[in-house]
């Protein structure tokens, strides 16, 4: 069957009949592949006929020219599965996606070019984008609706009017998608404002608007810029995301409010894409960040989003409220959901082995010397930490240590003794240095908390991005250790001692008879990350609001399982973590 989506007057046409797209966003890269079918079936059960996904360029091309479309990154497999379940697919390949994802999905290696200009027709950027599209689009071509597949639409860039107005760039992307075989409906998506719809759209390409409320006003503004064509909310913001340190326990939006807005969209004959239907998890170090008057605001590991399907895949009250509204406009069969995915508590895990991170940096990285400090990108590193090491000579009376600029959080050590923490945009410096005669070792461990994913500050290089001053004097002569922490087995572990503290990787094991979903709780721990069987679940931080990490059952195995926890400060009592069957943020997310 040819599922090609076309436009006739103010309608979408599919299979010769007018159709409203009822879509929901599920990002394949935020869900373990073993659960793709479960989440898609639940999307269909709510009454939706389409699934939408972004494409995370930085996961698919972690190093220039080295691509990965396997396992959880097998986008063609995800699209095929959706098609087998009777769903349309909307693919939003970017290359920029925002998505509360590191650098908006752009690979950090782009920033190795000191002259890089992102999201415009700067030739080195276009060259990189073209190479990515050369790898991404051809495997999707057999899945286009024009060839009988499920992919009915492709997006040209993403909310570009919120960033720029380079029409040549947008046209290059659109032409490139077409030239490579993306011959389905092309569209742009922007906020319902004149500036955004002027800067982010192209003549002859379908436009949708992204919003969460005031449907009538949003559709009216869209109609001003597109007098004819279907009305569609390309992102219906039915929830929201959380930052580390947010005062609120978890951003939520009432099911009743979402239902009212959805009803207004459907009553107007509009199509809709729930952003998100199911948020999933920002595994690893891939969560993004905002930058506001408050400074850098990194996102938490959970991407629950207070969506109709929560982080671990259970329908919420919002799911049922939305389904009730949809049923007023479209005939729905009785609700039929897949069997619930089991959750279990596995008890306490004692981490009885430890490896000091700074003392074993040489096991993880070769030192790189430079007179001045280098950024993470200059070191060819995407995520994690950089250790800066140098010698300072005394005697030296008390002098402030200034990092210009610290991106994003630095722990400072003098001869192995912690002096304090410097965070981004923190002035004056909270760290002072006083040393006696002779040479002394100064070490600065800088953490990349998350690259900015939205707004004009995308050029967010990490590490120490300018210089280090002791007093008024710039300090030169640095060793650098790139620590992405992607192979913790290189460390040498010893029994945990009573005095073990500071940046340390702790290790323990747990035997499991039958894997199931669970949640990692870290009572008394401070800040760091968790790995299960080598898979990075993401960050934790006692400043909240998130205090527990979702652990999908497919990441566990029957028998022995290995746990690693990086703790940057002080571990919890007894170096214990707990695997519980529940989360810690009400009914929403861990």
Let me know if 123 is exposed, middle or buried by CB neighbors in 10 A (0-12, 13-18, 19+): exposed
Measured between alpha carbons, how far is residue 48 from residues 33, 51, 268 in Å? 21, 8, 17
The dihedral built from the CA positions of residue 564, 570, 576 and 582, taken in this order, carries a sign that is negative
Count other C-beta atoms under 10 Å from residue 513's C-beta.
9
Please name every residue paired with 432 in a beta bridge, in sequence order, or none if there are none.
400
Which residues have a catalytic role annotated? 159, 235
**Do 422 and 270 touch, CB atoms closer than 8 A?**
no
CA 179 to chain centre: 29
pLDDT on residue 499: 65
DSSP label at 517?
B
**Longest Cα pair distance anywhere in the chain, in angstroms?**
85
**What does the angle CA 260 – CA 265 – CA 269 come to, to the nearest 5 degrees?**
140
Show pLDDT as tens, one digit a residue, over the chain (590 residues).
678 999 999 999 999 999 999 999 999 999 999 999 999 999 999 999 999 999 999 999 999 999 999 999 999 999 999 999 999 999 999 999 999 999 999 999 999 999 999 999 999 999 999 999 999 999 999 999 999 999 999 999 999 999 999 999 999 999 999 999 999 999 999 999 999 999 999 999 999 999 999 999 999 999 999 999 999 999 999 999 999 999 878 999 999 999 999 999 999 999 999 999 999 999 999 999 999 999 999 999 999 999 999 999 999 999 999 999 999 999 999 999 999 999 999 999 999 999 999 999 999 999 999 999 999 999 999 999 999 999 999 999 999 999 999 999 999 999 999 999 999 998 888 999 999 999 999 999 999 999 999 999 999 999 999 999 999 999 999 999 999 999 999 999 999 987 677 999 999 999 999 999 999 999 999 999 999 999 999 999 999 999 999 999 999 999 999 999 999 999 999 999 999 999 876 433 33
Q: Sheet holding 347-350: strands in order across?
A: 347-350, 576-580, 518-521, 548-551
Q: Which of 443, 307, 305, 463 has the alpha carbon at shortest distance from 373?
A: 463
**From the CA atom positions of the chain, what is the Rg in Å?**
25
Q: What span, in angstroms and rounded, lies between the C-alpha atoms of 468 and 35?
A: 47
SS3 537: strand
The dihedral built from the CA positions of residue 401, 403, 409 and 414, taken in this order, carries a sign that is negative
Look at the block and give the residue holding tokens 């998506």. 189
Over the stretch 447-470, which tens digit does the pLDDT of each residue have?
999 999 999 999 999 999 999 999
The alpha-helical segments, DSSP class H, found in 36-166 are 36-45, 57-60, 75-84, 123-140
| Terminal-residue alpha carbon distance, the chain | 42
The tokens for 560 are 């022995």
DSSP label at 66?
B
Count other C-beta atoms under 10 Å from residue 85's C-beta.
15
**Do 549 and 520 touch, CB atoms closer than 8 A?**
yes
Look at the block and give the residue holding tokens 């972690």. 62
**What does the angle CA 573 – CA 281 – CA 532 come to, to the nearest 5 degrees?**
45
**What does the angle CA 144 – CA 24 – CA 240 come to, to the nearest 5 degrees?**
135
| One-character DSSP codes across 263-276 | HHHHHTT-EEEEEE
Over the stretch 401-450, which tens digit does the pLDDT of each residue have?
999 999 999 999 999 999 999 999 988 889 999 999 999 999 999 999 99
Count other C-beta atoms under 10 Å from residue 229's C-beta.
18
Q: What are phi and psi of 256, to 5 degrees?
A: -65, -40
- Structural domains of the chain sorted by starting position, each given as residue range(s) with its CATH number in brackets: 20-131+153-176+186-329 (3.20.20.80), 347-356+491-580 (2.60.120.260), 361-483 (2.60.120.260)
Let me know if 136 is exposed, middle or buried by CB neighbors in 10 A (0-12, 13-18, 19+): buried
């Amino acid at each position: 069957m040819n599922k090609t989506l076309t436009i006739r007057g103010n309608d979408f046409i599919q299979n010769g009949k007018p159709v409203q797209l009822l879509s929901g966003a599920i990002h394949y890269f935020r869900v373990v592949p073993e659960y793709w079918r479960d989440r898609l079936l639940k999307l269909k059960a709510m009454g939706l006929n389409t699934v939408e996904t972004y494409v995370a360029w930085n996961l698919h091309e972690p190093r220039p020219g080295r691509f990965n479309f396997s396992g959880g990154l097998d986008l063609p497999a995800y699209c095929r599965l959706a098609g087998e379940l009777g769903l349309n697919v909307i693919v939003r390949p970017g290359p920029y996606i925002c998505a509360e994802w590191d650098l908006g999905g752009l690979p950090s290696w782009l920033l190795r070019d000191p002259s890089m200009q992102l999201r415009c027709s700067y030739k080195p950027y276009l060259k990189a984008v073209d190479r990515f599209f050369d790898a991404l689009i051809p495997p999707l071509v057999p899945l286009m609706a024009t060839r009988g597949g499920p992919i009915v639409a492709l997006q040209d860039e993403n909310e570009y009017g919120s960033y720029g107005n380079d029409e040549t760039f947008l046209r290059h992307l659109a032409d490139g998608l077409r030239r490579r075989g993306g011959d389905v409906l092309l569209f742009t998506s922007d906020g319902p404002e004149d500036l955004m719809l002027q800067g982010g759209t192209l003549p002859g390409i379908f436009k949708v608007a992204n919003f969460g409320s005031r449907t009538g006003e949003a559709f009216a503004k869209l109609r001003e810029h597109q007098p004819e064509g279907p009305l569609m909310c390309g992102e219906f913001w039915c929830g929201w995301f959380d930052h580390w340190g947010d005062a609120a326990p978890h951003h939520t939006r009432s099911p009743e409010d979402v239902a009212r807005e959805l009803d207004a969209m459907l009553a107007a004959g509009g199509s809709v894409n729930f952003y998100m239907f199911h948020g999933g998890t920002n595994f690893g170090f891939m969560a993004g960040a905002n930058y506001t008057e408050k400074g850098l605001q990194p996102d938490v590991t959970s991407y629950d989003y207070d969506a109709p399907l929560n982080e671990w895949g259970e329908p919420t009250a919002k799911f049922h409220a939305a389904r009730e509204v949809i049923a007023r406009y479209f005939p729905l069969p009785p609700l039929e959901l897949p069997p619930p995915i089991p959750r279990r508590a596995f008890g306490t895990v004692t981490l009885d082995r430890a490896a000091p991170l700074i003392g074993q940096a040489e096991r993880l990285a070769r030192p790189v010397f430079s007179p001045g400090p280098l950024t993470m990108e200059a070191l060819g590193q995407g995520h994690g930490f950089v250790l800066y090491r140098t010698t300072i000579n005394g005697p030296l009376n008390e002098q402030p240590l200034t990092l210009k600029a610290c991106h994003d959080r630095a722990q400072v050590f003098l001869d192995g003794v912690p002096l304090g923490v410097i965070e981004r945009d923190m002035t004056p410096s909270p760290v002072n240095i006083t040393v006696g005669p002779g040479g002394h070792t100064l070490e600065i461990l800088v953490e990349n908390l998350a690259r900015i994913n939205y707004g004009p500050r995308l050029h967010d290089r990490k590490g120490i991005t300018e210089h280090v001053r002791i007093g008024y004097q710039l300090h030169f002569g640095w060793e650098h250790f790139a620590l992405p922490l992607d192979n913790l087995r290189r460390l040498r572990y010893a029994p945990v001692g009573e005095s073990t503290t500071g940046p340390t990787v702790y290790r323990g094991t747990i035997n499991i008879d039958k894997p199931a979903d669970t949640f990692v709780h870290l009572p008394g721990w401070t800040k760091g990350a968790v790995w299960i069987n080598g898979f990075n679940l993401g960050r934790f931080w006692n400043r909240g609001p998130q205090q527990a990490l979702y652990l999908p059952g497919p990441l566990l195995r029957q028998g022995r399982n290995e746990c690693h926890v990086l703790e940057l400060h002080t571990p919890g009592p007894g170096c214990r973590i707990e695997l519980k069957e529940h989360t810690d943020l009400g009914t929403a997310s861990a």
